[in-house]
A = this chain, B = another copy of it.
Amino acid sequence: MKNEEILNQLKEENIDSMFVYKPENIKYISDFYPSSFAYLIIGEEPVLYVNSIDKIDAEEQSTIETRDIRKLGELKDLLNGTIAVESSLDFEFLKFLTDDTNLLKLSTVLEDQRKTKTKEEITKIRNSIGIASNAIKEIDFTSTEKYAAASLEFDMTINGSIKPAFDTIVASGNRSSSPHSETSMNRVETPIVVDWGAKYDHYCSDITRTFVDSERQEEIWNIVLEAQKAAINTISPGVKLADVDKAARDVITEYGYGEYFIHSTGHGFGLDIHENPNLSFNAEGVLEENMIVTAEPGIYIPGEFGVRIEDDVLVKKNNEVLTKNLDKKLEFNL
């Protein structure tokens, strides 16, 4: 089904074959995630080429035909006509694909299709969210930020996460005032921003909670929550991406903190932690049914602290907050 749709899309773009090497795209098409270099060629019939280390697993797990990998020098024999490549393709690869680089075309067909999730993908993301949600309940903040992050990752791993969806962030005290703060060896202070996710069968989850314990922190937390609710309330098929961002941004601006909301309101995720769509002020396009997006406004006051609240939302007529079983406000000890 997936393959057919991809082929049809390629035909519409007048493309004859596609060279796919990103492991996430290979997983998406074949359900097999290669452990080492592999590629997949989409033509009349899609074929997955793997090396000997992956042969047994690929034959067991791949939903499409699997063959032994060919040398790069033989790639030209496998491709023909106009060739689509992923935007992330390495420069050095081009020469192996064709003698005429005019035949190469960037195609976002896979990224476009991956924007909306299948039923099976939604189930895997639910599982990933379940693993991540359970882990936060056990977290011990009485030591360093690194210790808290390592505990969270440990708990997710032993409960079925392949690996963290991204480097777990535990940013506390004034380190929380940067959204990309590197988790430190410092003792945990307040507020505590925790941004974490699991990978279940290679599908991500992405959640943030902020633990607050002063009136000032609570005040900012409430504004962020109001902004997040406003954003989530807009989420529905057909709604402009920029309007979701605007809903959150308007609330924060109204309270006078607009300049401290320094990132976009959310993003799609799935096999990758950042996928289309991007819910930013200048994004074009609209939400579609079965997209899964984060809603994660934040306020970062330089030199003071930051607050972010992030949930994962399935786009449908009455949208579903997939992280709904995890309280926005969690208990903690310091």
Instruction: Check B163–A167 contact: CB distance below 8 A.
Output: yes
Instruction: Check B146–A150 contact: CB distance below 8 A.
Output: no
A182 to B57, CA, bound (A): 10
Q: Hey, which chain B residues are within 8 Å of A151, CB to CB?
A: 154
A150 to B135, CA, bound (A): 14
A88 to B104, CA, bound (A): 17
A157 CB within 8 Å of chain B:
yes
Q: Which residues of A in the span 158-201 have a Cβ within 8 Å of any Cβ on B?
A: 158, 160, 162-163, 167, 178-180, 182, 185
Closest chain B residue to A302, Cβ basis? B56
A87 to B52, CA, bound (A): 25
A147 to B158, CA, bound (A): 5
Q: Hey, which chain B residues are within 8 Å of A52, CB to CB?
A: 262
Closest chain B residue to A91, Cβ basis? B89
A94 CB within 8 Å of chain B:
yes
Q: Hey, which chain B residues are within 8 Å of A89, CB to CB?
A: 90-91
A248 CB within 8 Å of chain B:
no
A106 CB within 8 Å of chain B:
yes
Q: Hey, which chain B residues are within 8 Å of A147, CB to CB?
A: 158
Instruction: Check A54–B180 contact: CB distance below 8 A.
Output: yes
Q: Hey, which chain B residues are within 8 Å of A87, CB to CB?
A: 90-92
Closest chain B residue to A88, Cβ basis? B90
Whole-angstrom distance between the Cβ of A320 and the nearest chain B Cβ? 29
A53 to B54, CA, bound (A): 39
Instruction: Check A158–B180 contact: CB distance below 8 A.
Output: no
Q: Hey, which chain B residues are within 8 Å of A178, CB to CB?
A: 53, 56
A136 CB within 8 Å of chain B:
no
Q: Hey, which chain B residues are within 8 Å of A160, CB to CB?
A: 185
Instruction: Check B158–A150 contact: CB distance below 8 A.
Output: yes
A54 to B178, CA, bound (A): 9
Q: Mark A246-274, 1 if CB is under 8 A from B, else 0.
A: 00000000000000001000000000000
Instruction: Check A157–B167 contact: CB distance below 8 A.
Output: no
A233 CB within 8 Å of chain B:
no
Instruction: Check A106–B94 contact: CB distance below 8 A.
Output: no
Highest count of chain B CB atoms <10 Å: which of A91, A92, A179: A91
A310 CB within 8 Å of chain B:
no
Instruction: Check A91–B92 contact: CB distance below 8 A.
Output: no
Known: A53-B178, A53-B180, A53-B262. 6 other contacts (CB 8 A): A54-B180, A88-B92, A91-B93, A151-B154, A153-B154, A160-B185
* A positions within 8 Å CB-CB of B: 35-36, 52-54, 56, 85-94, 104, 106, 143-144, 146-147, 149-151, 153-154, 157-158, 160, 162-163, 167, 178-180, 182, 185, 262
Subset of 19 A-B contacts with CB under 8 Å? A54-B180, A87-B92, A88-B92, A90-B91, A91-B94, A91-B104, A143-B158, A144-B158, A146-B158, A147-B158, A150-B153, A150-B158, A151-B154, A153-B153, A153-B154, A153-B157, A154-B154, A160-B185, A163-B167
